[in-house]
């Protein structure tokens, strides 16, 4: 059995042939700082190639799945946009690795999934969410293009019209509403979440794995095509907006706890 790598911000755990990946910055609601960005990319690459697992479970420690970008990290990148170039490459690696994993990836969305956290959750194959959770991609609220996969995966799950509504407004929606429109698969009372996830993972583990992986590959062909078509342009647009006056203003407003004052588009 391959030894599990150790990370500072992620926990890996084997449960038989299931590999659990837990985002582990609970005090920060599993918000993405530079370490979590880098380590999630590495953990997903390990999971993709791991010969000791057939199903991957992705979840968060504590009250949230992931609250999106860590404010201190966002502020540092806004002050020095060259830092963001590395983050863009890691975001690219996260998305490309997730769409390249042939094993089923199940999301246990134990709490809010926001921004990149929402994209990571939605790139999983089947999503079980606690009823207290909310999901959304508020990139526009901080003056950024939703370029790190959100514009791709939301439309794949709920259609272009609804995806545009939610991405352009950037609002969070409840797990119940997300399940109703097909954005996620299941919304459950929090106390029922673990049992439902365990039952489904056990069902997958009992199936013939080659057939399971090939079926996932077939059903993911269009998503992989769109990622290849759209991701690089999306990341380039996000890189452009991180250097914008609106993004700088949004970050100042968050730090100062006031409404932002955005200007007209250039």
> pLDDT tens digits for 19-32?
999 999 999 999 99
In a domain? residue 198: no
Range of the domain at 109: 10-191+209-256
> pLDDT tens digits for 21-63?
999 999 999 999 999 999 999 999 999 999 999 999 999 999 9
Place of tokens 């020095």: 80
Place of tokens 């200007």: 263
Cβ contact 186:125 at 8 Å: no
Sheet of strand 186-188: strand arrangement: 10-15, 18-23, 55-60, 105-109, 126-130, 186-188
10 Å CB burial of residue 79 (0-12, 13-18, 19+) is exposed
Among candidate residues 263, 233, 50, the one with its CA nearest the CA of residue 148: 233
Indicate the average pLDDT of the chain. 95
In a domain? residue 5: no
In a domain? residue 145: yes
Whether the per-residue pLDDT at 266 is higher than 80: the answer is: no
In a domain? residue 262: no
Cβ contact 234:222 at 8 Å: no
Whether the per-residue pLDDT at 1 is higher than 70: the answer is: no
In a domain? residue 237: yes
In a domain? residue 41: yes
* Cα 172 to Cα 115, 137, 167, distances in angstroms: 10, 7, 10
What is the number of other CB atoms lying within 10 angstroms of the CB of residue 26? 14
Contacts with 218 (C-beta within 8 Å, 6 or more apart), sequence order: none
In a domain? residue 266: no
In a domain? residue 265: no
Express as a percent the part of the chain with pLDDT over 70: 99
Q: Domain total for the chain?
A: 1
| CATH number of domain containing 38 | 3.90.226.10
């Amino acid at each position: 059995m391959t030894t599990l790598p150790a990370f500072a911000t992620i926990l890996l755990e084997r449960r038989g042939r299931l590999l659990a990946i837990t985002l582990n910055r609970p005090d920060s609601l599993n918000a993405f700082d530079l370490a979590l960005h880098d380590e999630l990319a590495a953990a997903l690459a390990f999971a993709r190639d791991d010969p000791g697992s057939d199903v991957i479970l992705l979840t968060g420690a504590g009250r949230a799945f992931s609250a999106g970008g860590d404010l201190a990290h966002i502020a540092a990148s806004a002050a020095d946009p060259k830092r963001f170039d590395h983050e863009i490459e890691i975001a690219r690696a996260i998305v490309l690795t997730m769409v390249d994993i042939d094993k089923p990836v199940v999301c246990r969305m134990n709490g809010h999934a926001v921004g990149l956290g929402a994209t990571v959750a939605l790139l999983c194959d089947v999503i079980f969410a606690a009823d207290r959770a909310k999901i959304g991609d508020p990139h526009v609220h901080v003056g950024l293009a939703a370029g790190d996969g959100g514009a791709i995966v939301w439309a794949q799950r709920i259609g272009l019209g609804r995806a545009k509504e939610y991405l352009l407004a950037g609002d969070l929606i409840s797990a119940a509403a997300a399940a109703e429109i097909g954005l996620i698969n299941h919304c459950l009372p929090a106390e029922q979440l673990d049992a439902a996830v365990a039952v489904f993972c056990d069902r997958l583990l009992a199936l013939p794995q080659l057939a399971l992986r090939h079926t996932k590959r077939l059903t993911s062909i269009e998503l992989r095509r769109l990622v290849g078509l759209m991701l690089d342009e999306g990341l380039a647009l996000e890189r452009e907006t991180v250097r914008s006056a609106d993004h700088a203003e949004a970050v100042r407003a968050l730090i100062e706890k006031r409404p932002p004052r955005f200007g007209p588009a250039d």
